[in-house]
Amino acid sequence: MGEPYPKLEADGLTRVFGRAPHTVEALGPLDLTVAPGEFVCVVGPSGCGKSTLLRIAAGLLRPSAGTLLIRATTPRPAAMIFQDYGIYDWKTVRANVRFGLDVQRVPRREANARADDWLARLGLADFTHAYPATLSGGMRQRVAIARALAVEPELLLMDEPFAALDAQLRTILQDELLDLTQATRTTTLFITHSLEEALVLGDRVLVMSARPGRIIAEHRPPFPRPRTGDIRSTPEFTALKGELWELLRKEAVPA
Ligand SMILES: Nc1ncnc2c1ncn2[C@@H]1O[C@H](COP(=O)(O)OP(=O)(O)O)[C@@H](O)[C@H]1O
Ligand SMILES: [Mg+2]
């Protein structure tokens, strides 16, 4: 057995924006745990509070009520990947991937070696010295993934990281992420509005209600690991997707 306690634990987590009488109840109350090594996907309709949840987990936003706890052994346990890449255009690809390592004061030679290793794993070896502006959207998002994984985070937070990509590229990056996270066993909280994405990647899939988002359903996709993207074409996959879609549709389309 690994560590006995959840890596992340949210208890009655609630977030309200604005001041009375003009408040927006964005999130919760929401309870959530993510076990060490677990890949948890959260699916929910647009505006239900998904990014709010992730920003609280990343320490970028405070809860209005309730708690979110990360049990970490290092000072900077979490790495985050956003939908719009969040990489620096004025830094080379390698310097972007090295960024978190520089912050941790990893010596330059080692940092370069680790960055180059991740770039190779993501098929970007030929672009080490390129600037992001010269890269396609898929390549930019690979840079963001390499940067996040290079610091070997205890917790990986991903906010709809593939939403800006076309369907084909999205599938390719999902499969790459599946390989990478199954190899590293990185604890991951992954936000998406795509059920298919959640079912391919997740050990658990949590469905959120419309705003203020709460967890209304939980599923464990019954696909053994190591898993490949081939599960998308199985009847079990299609059935589970249909079942969860019924739930999500009720939330997405007001009665
Ligand atoms: N800084 C903010 N100020 C006011 N309202 C906000 C702020 N951030 C988010 N919201 C509102 O909170 C709700 C949830 O937003 P968000 O977490 O971004 O949803 P999602 O990521 O699920 O689409 C939305 O109604 C949004 O308009
Ligand atoms: Mg969002």
Task: Give pLDDT tens digits for 62-86.
Answer: 999 999 999 998 888 999 998 877 8
Q: Write the pLDDT tens digit of every residue in 173-228.
A: 999 999 999 999 999 999 998 999 999 999 999 999 999 999 999 999 999 999 99
Question: Is the domain of 60 the same as that of 186?
Answer: yes
| Range of lowest pLDDT (45-54, 114-123, 149-158, 244-253) | 244-253
Domain range for 249 is: 1-77+154-255
* Domain endpoint, select from 98, 125, 152: 152
Proximal ligand: closest to the CA of 47: 1
Instruction: Of 186, 201, 168, give the one whose Cα is nearest residue 8.
Output: 186
219 beta partners = 205
Question: Is the domain of 171 the same as that of 236?
Answer: yes
CA of 6 to the centre of ligand 2 (A): 24
Question: Is the domain of 249 the same as that of 186?
Answer: yes
CA of 150 to the centre of ligand 1 (A): 30
* Domain endpoint, select from 152, 169, 203: 152
* Domain endpoint, select from 152, 182, 206: 152
CA distances from 37 to 3, 68, 97, 237 (A): 9, 18, 23, 23
CA of 98 to the centre of ligand 1 (A): 31
Rounded-to-integer distance, Cα 123 and Cα 113, Å:
15
Average pLDDT, the chain: 93
Q: What is the predicted pLDDT for the residue at 76?
A: 84
Rounded-to-integer distance, Cα 225 and Cα 203, Å:
9
Dihedral pair phi/psi, residue 28, rounded to 5° = 85, -170
What is the pLDDT confidence band of residue 35, given thresholds at 50, 70 and 90?
very high
Report yes or no on 82 lying in a domain: no
CATH of the domain at 71: 3.40.50.300
Question: Is the domain of 96 the same as that of 186?
Answer: no
Ligand 1 atom nearest residue 46's Cα: 23
Q: Is the pTM of this model over 0.75?
A: yes
Question: Is the domain of 35 the same as that of 102?
Answer: no
Question: Is the domain of 167 the same as that of 236?
Answer: yes
Residues with CB under 6 A from ligand 1: 17-18, 24, 26, 44, 46-52, 211
Question: Is the domain of 15 the same as that of 140?
Answer: no
What b/e string do you get for 236-252 counting C-beta neighbours within 10 Å, with b at 16 or more? ebeebbeebeebbeebe
Proximal ligand: closest to the CA of 46: 1
Q: What is the predicted pLDDT for the residue at 23?
A: 95
What element of type H or E holds 193? none
If you take atom 16 of ligand 1, which residue's CA is the nearest one? 49
